[in-house]
Structures are given as structure tokens and as C-alpha cells.
Chains A and B, each alone.
Chain A
Amino acid sequence: MHKKFNRIVRYFTNLLIDMMNKKVIWVPVVLIPVWVFIYHNLQNFTDWFIDRILQLEKGKHITEALRFFVFEFPKVLLLLTLIIFVVGIIRTFFTPERTRKALEGKRTFTGNVMAATLGIITPFCSCSAIPLFLGFIESGVPLGVTFSFLISAPMINEVAIILLYGLFGWKVAAIYIGTGLVIAIFSGWLIGLLKREKWVEPWVYQAHFGNKEVVEEKLNFAKRINLGIEAVKEIVGKVWLFVGLGIVVGAGVHGYVPQEFMASLMGKSVWYSVPLSVLIGIPLYSNAAGIVPIVSVLIEKGVSLGTALAFMMSVIGLSLPEMIILRKVLTMPLIVTFIGIVGTGILIVGYLFNYIF
């Protein structure tokens, strides 16, 4: 019985390895049903593991904390893997070069809406913020439209969305995307209206780099799938530890820190909680993977939704390291204006959601 089982497992493992070597297209076809099966049985498995195998006492603090972790951690990892894979493939169609082409010469509002939306899906890493900024400006994308892109790209990303969905449900995720987009669109639009091109470092507009012919890589479908797999390896490989730590903290404080303490500090009734959390968030720098589990702990401990969202947006949208990078191309007054406008947007969102919920 045991030998037979081993042989079957080995057969399928070999088959899988073979497929990966030959035709990468089969990987998702085989793995997606496995994914669906695990995802749907996770709660049952968790209960079986906690109650039957470990035989822990139900309802006890440590039991429920463990149950929380055994269920949440694989769930979030499964969601991350699938969505990053899909987004990784979609992104191969949206290169920065194509986004720039789409935004060239677009004026005011339409351009801002497009830039903020494309910011979600175009691959972006804060280390290439400068080449991207220069490339956009040089080919005639208006300053305000460029800003809409630069605000939305880091703030609204797939990792943030999946984690919010996984830990809070789709409503909070949708609220985050919606308000993030509104902030990116209006902040960029306002910066455009102010006509502060003179606050960009002078060399930016004098420079003419020429050579705009970018040879694009030719990609077939197998290669796109490969890039999706690469994205999963890279991003999940980088964030799983943060996600795990965040969920451990979340499971641990489950019931330990008194709710009243945090609620009295950053609850709904405290008027200064929103500006305070935005101010604390600016010097803090973290990616979405690190901040969302912390936000979930804050909310559980009585911090209101608006305050927690404002904190999260401030940490990932207004980061000091990115400002330092942007200082190479922007003068101080423009950076201060940028922080001021985006910060005000986040404040409004924070107060709005504290008021509604």
C-alpha cells in the first residue's frame, strides 16, 4: 500500500518535472486544479489538524491563535502565488514604453485618469522611478500626468490588494483601490493645474536624450508564462517572511493587548488620529507585504478603518527613500507640494471612512 502510494507520487512528480522542461504551458493547467482543491479544503484541513492531530482544547487562546496562523498563512500565500502569476503574465503586455506611448500628449484630466489606472498594472520598481520620470517628461507626458502615475504605481499594487482581500475581504480591498485611484488622479491633476514645471530641476527639460527607438523583446506565450513564474518566485520569495511574521504577530496579540488602549489612542473619536497616523507613516518605509498584517492588528485592536487605511497609504505612498530618489529630478518646493497634496488626499480619505464606518 505504502510502496504503491510512493510510486504514484514519484510518477506524478516526474511527469510534472518533465512538463516543466518541455512545455511550460502545462504548468498552470496542472497546478490550478491543485490550487483550487487546497484552497477550498483549507479550513477543513486546519480544523482536522488542530482538533484531531494536535488534539488541542477548543476555544483556548493558544489553540485559536494557532488555528488562525495555520489557516491564514497558507491562504495568503496561495492567493499571492496565483494572483502574482496572473498579474505577472498580464504585465508582460504593459511595458513602461507602451504606457508612455499611451500617455504622450494627453492633456489634463483624461491623462491623469489613464496614468493612475495604468500605474496599477505597469511594472514599477522605485529604483527605476528616475529613468521612468525622465522618459515620460522627455516624450511630452505632462508633469501632472506623470505624477498621477508615480503616485498610483507604488501605492496600488497587487500585493497590497491581495493581502487586503485575504485579511479583510473584498470590500476593504475595493475601497483601497478606489480611494487610491482618486488620490492619484486628483493629486496629479492639481499639480498639473499649478503649472510648477519650473520646480523640476532645470536640466530635466534641457536634456535631449534622443534615441527613442526602443527595441522590444519579442515574447511568445510560453515566455510570458515563464515570466509569470519568475514573478512568483521573485515576489513570493521576497515577501513570504514578512507575511508570516505579520500573521504571527496578528495571531499572538489576538486577545493580549487590551482593545481600549489602542482605541483611546487611535480610535474613531480621537480627532487627531488621522493626521497623526499620516505623519508617523511618512518616515516609516515598508512594502505592502509588511504593512498589511500590521494594519490588520491595528484594526483588531480598535483602531478605526479610516485611520488604519490612512496609515497604510502614508507608509507605502509617501516614503522618505522615494522622496530622496526623486530629489535628483525635483526641487524641494515641488517635493513639499507633492507631499502636501497627496498627504491632504490621504487625510480626506481617512476622515471620510472614519465618518462612514
Chain B
Amino acid sequence: MEIKVLGTGCSKCKALEKLTRDAVAELGIQAEIEKVEDIYKIMSFGVMSTPALVINQKIVVSGRVPSVSEIKDLVTKNQ
């Protein structure tokens, strides 16, 4: 599966990336995690508030940093 963290490099965006990596590690699944910092690419997802979490091309969270357990839920649901 493909997970993307969208964010221009603010502290919340870094936090989301770290929590996502933690969540995936805890789940022990194979996933490609990519941090997208390019504003063009971020905009192509139609997201206006960063950070945002995209799982398999679908926006699941935008504008906030969810907890590890919530990310785990989202990852499992959107597998």
C-alpha cells in the first residue's frame, strides 16, 4: 500500500510523518511512506489545510495530527 504525508515542512507535518511511521511499524505491515513537500503536488490532491494523510490516493485526514491509534485504524480500514 501507498501512504503519503502532505505538508510544506511545518512542525505539525513532521509530527504527522513520524506518527505515521510509528503506526505502520506497530502494525507490522508493508507500506511505502512518502513525504510530499512540493506545493504543486500537494495542491493536486485538492488539500487546503496541511498536514494531510493520503492512503492509496485517498485523503483520510487533513488539517490536523491524529493519534497513532487513529492512524492505525485509518490504515487498516483503507488497506
Contact = CB atoms under 8 A, between A and B. Distances in A.
A130 B10 contact: no
B39 to A, nearest CB: 6
Contact of B46 (A123, A130, A136, A214): A214
Interface in A112-130: 123, 125, 127-128, 130
Contacts of B9: 127
Contacts of A128: 8, 10, 48-50, 63
Interface residues of B, number: 25
A102 to B, nearest CB: 13
Contact of A131 (B12, B43, B58, B59): B43
A138 B39 CA distance: 14
B23 interface: no
B64 A131 contact: no
Given A131-B42, A209-B43, A100 B48 contact: yes
Interface of A: 95-97, 100, 123, 125, 127-128, 130-132, 134-136, 138, 207, 209-215, 217, 227, 230, 328
B44 interface: yes
A131 B44 contact: no
A326 B60 CA distance: 27
B19 interface: no
A210 B44 contact: yes
Contact of A135 (B7, B43, B61, B64): B43
B68 interface: no
B47 interface: yes
Given A128-B63, A217-B62, 18 more contacts: A95-B63, A96-B63, A97-B48, A127-B9, A127-B11, A131-B39, A131-B43, A131-B47, A131-B49, A132-B48, A136-B48, A207-B43, A209-B40, A212-B46, A213-B46, A214-B46, A214-B47, A214-B48
Interface in B19-78: 39-40, 42-50, 58-64
Most chain A CB inside 10 Å of its own CB: which residue of B7, B59, B62 = B62
A212 B46 CA distance: 5
A131 B50 contact: yes
A130 B48 CA distance: 8
Contacts of B62: 214, 217
Contacts, number: 70
B43 A127 contact: no
B49 to A, nearest CB: 5
Given A127-B10, A130-B39, A211 B45 contact: yes
A130 B43 CA distance: 10
Given A123-B63, A131-B8, A209 B44 contact: yes
B58 A328 contact: no
B13 interface: yes
A147 B16 CA distance: 29
Contacts of B39: 130-131, 134, 328
B40 A125 contact: no
B12 A130 contact: no
Contacts of B46: 135, 209, 211-214
23 contacts: A123-B49, A125-B49, A127-B7, A127-B8, A127-B9, A127-B11, A128-B10, A128-B50, A130-B39, A131-B39, A131-B43, A131-B49, A131-B50, A132-B49, A135-B43, A209-B43, A209-B46, A210-B44, A212-B46, A214-B47, A215-B59, A217-B60, A227-B64
B44 A211 contact: yes
